[in-house]
Amino acid sequence: MSTDFDLCVVGGGIIGAGIAQAAALNGLSTVIVERKGWGSGNTQKSNKLVHGSLEHFTGSNIFQTREDLVERQVLLSIAPDIIKSSWFYLPVFEDDRRLPWSTELQLMAYDILSGKTKLPWFKKLSEDEWRGLDGLNQFKLEAVYKFIDAHTDEVVLTQELVRSAKIHGALALCPVNFDEAIKIPDGYKVQVTKGSRTRTFECRFIANATGAWSSLTAERMGLFSKIPAVQCVKSTYIEFAQQLSEKRFFIEPVNNAGRLIVAPWREGTLVGSAEKLFTGNPEHVKPTVEEVEYLVKTVRHHFPHFNHSPSQAWSGLGSKLLAKKQSKGPDRRLFLLEEARYLGVYGGQLTSYRILAEKAVKNILGILNGNVEGSLEKPFISSSSMGI
């Protein structure tokens, strides 16, 4: 039986775009469907960091941190015009959760895990250097460190991946809604809608890259009961029209709930995030007054001179499978149903989009070619770079 596409990717965030690019580059006839705009979902609501998550780096997640830092290096080398490295400033105050010595140890381990790169190692600033740090509160300040990490414009990156996928033969549909998929012997019959126009096509495999909407998407494929529960975490950000500094800071909030980022963004300043668990319709996620006040209070505490009001506030959602053991697949973030020819991505990061896309496409190719194990050995995904 002939089908229109080998692969239908649902969702045009960073994860879907990465999978579409890797699939198209590796010979799969691919269609990607996004209902709003490329990267307009939770991708756009990220911290914009390409990093090993220093904030969450503990001994127990050392392998994940290492993988992310290797990816950071790969992405810095394949997309230097979109992904850039910068110094991040880390002040440590007397009442902070982390003391200077433990911060120093954490930074040292972070740099070691980065491996051999041309990036400089972290530095401890002298007291004279603190003074010039753009109005940083000096009361109870014990030490200031700076370390290297990378950042990007995530929407531009997503658009570039889609552009690359198209150049390699993929069909990119946006704004087009994925309505449903009905299982047929050799894959799925998919229905999509643009305005009042409905279109159907067939595909051999579906990759669900709709992030926080992934349960709703699985429901539209009749797979809801086969997909494990997903947990969503809401993160809230504020933006100021004024630029606080040209530097990027990580600051500890007054309640020690995990560091916040304060970074220049476009002409102004981005501050976030305040995190909490979220249940409900992802469409309805929005900041509360308390979350915004908490972020404003934290910025003013650290930069007392910066007494502007935020110009906007917004919330994003991260999603992950509730329990590790529920995850079937080559990676805890990929859930594979071989019989159903379905792959879902849960908890994908901006930083890890490329490696997840590689793993996803290797497995999809393996299933479509009837040999999952064998296909994992082949080095054919190595070209899934930005090379366009």
The C-alpha atoms of residue 33 and residue 219 are separated, in whole angstroms, by 17
CB-CB contact of 282 with 213 (8 Å): yes
Q: Nearest CA to 18 among 78, 67, 62, 58?
A: 78
Residues 88, 89, 145, 178: which binds ligand FAD (CB under 6 A)?
178
User: Contact letters (x/-) for ligand FAD, 340-379, by CB under 6 A?
Assistant: --------xxxx----------------------------
Cross-strand pairs, 141 = 93
Our finding on whether 42 is near ligand FAD (CB under 6 A) is yes
Provide the phi-psi class of 229: left if phi over 0, else alpha when psi is between -120 and 50, else beta. Answer: beta
Q: Which residues are CB-contacts of 41 (< 8 A; sequence separation ≥ 6)?
A: 11, 12, 13, 210, 211, 212, 213
Residues 43, 65, 208, 327: which binds ligand FAD (CB under 6 A)?
43
Residues 22, 23, 24, 49: which binds ligand FAD (CB under 6 A)?
49
Q: Which stretch binds ligand FAD (CB under 6 A): 126-134, 206-214, 327-335, 376-384?
A: 206-214
Our finding on whether 288 is near ligand FAD (CB under 6 A) is no
Our finding on whether 48 is near ligand FAD (CB under 6 A) is yes
CB-CB contact of 138 with 292 (8 Å): no
DSSP, residue by residue, 10-29: E--SHHHHHHHHHHHHTT--
The C-alpha atoms of residue 267 and residue 74 are separated, in whole angstroms, by 29
Our finding on whether 15 is near ligand FAD (CB under 6 A) is yes
Q: Which stretch binds ligand FAD (CB under 6 A): 32-40, 104-112, 114-122, 244-252?
A: 32-40
DSSP H/E element including 381: none
Residues 11, 52, 287, 329: which binds ligand FAD (CB under 6 A)?
11
CB-CB contact of 317 with 233 (8 Å): yes
Residues 52, 91, 187, 211: which binds ligand FAD (CB under 6 A)?
211
Residues 46, 85, 269, 375: which binds ligand FAD (CB under 6 A)?
46
Q: Where are the alpha helices (DSSP H) in the chain?
A: 14-25, 62-78, 100-113, 127-131, 154-167, 214-219, 289-302, 353-368, 372-377
Residues 8, 28, 31, 34: which binds ligand FAD (CB under 6 A)?
34
Our finding on whether 73 is near ligand FAD (CB under 6 A) is no
Question: Shortest Cβ distance from residue 127 to ligand FAD (Å)?
Answer: 31
Our finding on whether 152 is near ligand FAD (CB under 6 A) is no
Q: Give residue for tokens 């490295």.
A: 85
Q: Which stretch binds ligand FAD (CB under 6 A): 28-36, 55-63, 288-296, 366-374?
A: 28-36
Q: Which stretch binds ligand FAD (CB under 6 A): 96-104, 129-137, 181-189, 204-212?
A: 204-212
Our finding on whether 52 is near ligand FAD (CB under 6 A) is no
Question: Shortest Cβ distance from residue 217 to ligand FAD (Å)?
Answer: 6
Residues 25, 41, 65, 260: which binds ligand FAD (CB under 6 A)?
41
Q: Nearest CA to 283 among 186, 194, 216, 334?
A: 216
Binding-site ranges for ligand FAD (CB under 6 A): 10-16, 33-36, 40-43, 45-49, 177-178, 209-213, 217, 235, 273, 316-318, 348-351
